Structure 1
Amino acid sequence: MLDTHKARDELREILNQKEYRVYHESKGIIETWWEKAKQWILEKLASIFPSVQVSDSAAGSVLIIVMVIVLLLLALSAFLLIRNHKRNRMLRKQKPLQSQQEINWTYRQHILEAERLEALGNFTQSTRHLFLALLLFFHDKGWLEARIWKTNWEYYEELRKVEQRKAQQFFKLARFFDEVTYGERKVNSEEYRQFHQDVMKELTEEELGGGVNVEKG
């Protein structure tokens, strides 16, 4: 029984020694890295401010600030990547045309409806009709083929083959449209005005005479 206890105690001691050694080795690596990093910071600061004596503690503070900035940039990059992924996934999923009536309307009719809804303060639905006006306008130009079953991503791919610049602008407007229509984004008057301006710019650039002649009535 004594031998069993002794063997167990020896084994525990060996394991403890191993854990202690691994802990201190890892701690030594971290300390070595930290000292090298501080030395690098000291050298850089000395080259930038040769007349200023930089202390070791100051270099450590600068290193901490740099690490915090890097971590914040990494977090921001991750956030933007995730957000763009979600936006693009929405673009691949949602279909802007929901009924036969919407596709049978002319783009001018959609503009008139957008103006009517805008006057009522309904910017969400007005945004929808403005985007459908743009989509059907591109359809009339033969740059894409509007169909109820198609997604905005499919329209973007069609447009990209014939009009690269307009495809990029369409992509931007389609993402905003999807966020407002399907992502439950609350569009304010300022955002709506910018969207309206961007859509009308695309329409007027292609119209003969430099403008879209929309008769109200």
Structure 2
Amino acid sequence: MSQPSDAREEFEKILNQDEYQAYNENAEGPFQKWREAVGEWFNNLIESLFPNASINSPGAEGLLYFFGIIGVGLLIFLIVRLSKATNNQAELKKRNPIAHSSQLGWSYQQHLEESERLESRGETQEAVRHLFLALLLYFDEQEWISAQVWKSNGDYYEELQKVKRSVAKDFQDAALLFERVVYGKQAINQTHYQAFRQKVTTLINLSHGKVGS
């Protein structure tokens, strides 16, 4: 079995492999516009700070390009991060992970055991469902969230942000993969499944004795 660090790295690759495609396809036009805007701002700044300085000097021109590139890069980074966060939140608000109240009657240990049984039969999609339900019910047991049939993963994420911020981002990653596999019907191979299982069991083991294999 792969080491926990390898599993975490593999899990991150699943979610982030297409992160910058939209920017790569459309970068040339926006870059030129922002370079000109930053250049004009920098010209005005230099003239106000150093009235006798020549903006056409090699040193000033080098600074212009340097700060222009840094500014554009930072702006693009912020836009990508904001867009990703917005899209993730929208995806997590789509459905309620607990389909009916009977799923609340199981303990998180029972859901973990069921996931192992389903995995052994090759039913990885259902195994993902039970792993995620185990995570929700464990968080509920810790009183970090209040598991309810009517709540979405976005609701749980917001609750974690308030009371257990250290696990909120990892929960969001797990929830996104759960959404894509269970509701989006995306196939999940054994490597990706094991990475997901490692993510869930690691989150449960943060403040509890070892559970599952």
Name the TM tier (shorter chain).
0.5 to 0.7
Correspondence for 1:6: none
**1:134 match: secondary structure:** helix
Q: May I ask how many residue pairs the two structures share in their alignment?
A: 166
Distance change >3 Å, CA 206–CA 86, structure 1 → 2? same
CA deviation vs aligned residue, 1:79-121 (integer Å, no higher than 9, x gap)? 8876654432120121000011111111011001100110111
Is the 8 Å Cα contact of residues 114 and 127 (structure 1) preserved in structure 2? yes
Q: What's the C-alpha RMSD, in Å, of the aligned pairs?
A: 3.9
Partner amino acid, structure 2, of 1:179: R
Aligned to 2:147: 146
Alignment correspondent of 2:138: 137
Ranges in structure 1 where 5+ consecutive residues have no aligned partner: 1-39, 44-73
For residues 168-201 of structure 1, give each alpha carbon's deviation from its aligned partner in whole angstroms, at most 9, with x where no partner exists: 1111111111111112211111110000011111
- For residue 124 of structure 2, what is the amino acid of its counterpart? F
Q: 8 Å contact 1:97–1:147 — kept in the other structure?
A: yes
Rounded to whole Å, the distance in 2 between the matches of 1:83 and 1:137 is: 27
- Asked whether the equivalents of residues 113 and 212 of structure 2 are also in contact (C-alpha less than 8 Å), the reply is no
Match of 1:184 in 2: 185
Q: Determine the structure 1 residue equivalent to 2:169.
A: 168
Q: What corresponds to 2:199 in structure 1?
A: 198
Q: Superposed, which structure 2 residues align to 1:48-197 within 5 Å?
A: 85-197=86-198
1:106 aligned partner, one-letter code: S
3-state SS in 2 of match to 1:187: coil
Which residue in the other structure is 1:27 paired with?
none
Residues 191 and 158 from structure 1, CA distance in 2 versus in 1: closer, same or farther, beyond 3 angstroms?
Answer: same
2:211 match = 212
- For the residues of structure 2 that align with 1:149 and 1:205, how far apart are their CA atoms? 27
Larger Rg: 1
% identity of equivalent residues: 36
Structure showing greater relative contact order (alpha-carbon pairs closer than 8 Å, 6 or more residues apart): 2
What is the Cα deviation at residue 205 of structure 1?
A: 2.1
State how far apart, in whole Å, the 2-side matches of 1:87 and 1:119 are.
Answer: 31
Shift of residue 160, structure 1, vs aligned partner: 1.1
Q: Could you tell me how far apart the structure 2 residues matched to 1:155 and 1:76 are?
A: 27
**Which ranges of structure 2 fall in alignment gaps of 5 or more residues?**
1-55, 60-74
Output the amino acid matched with 1:115.
E
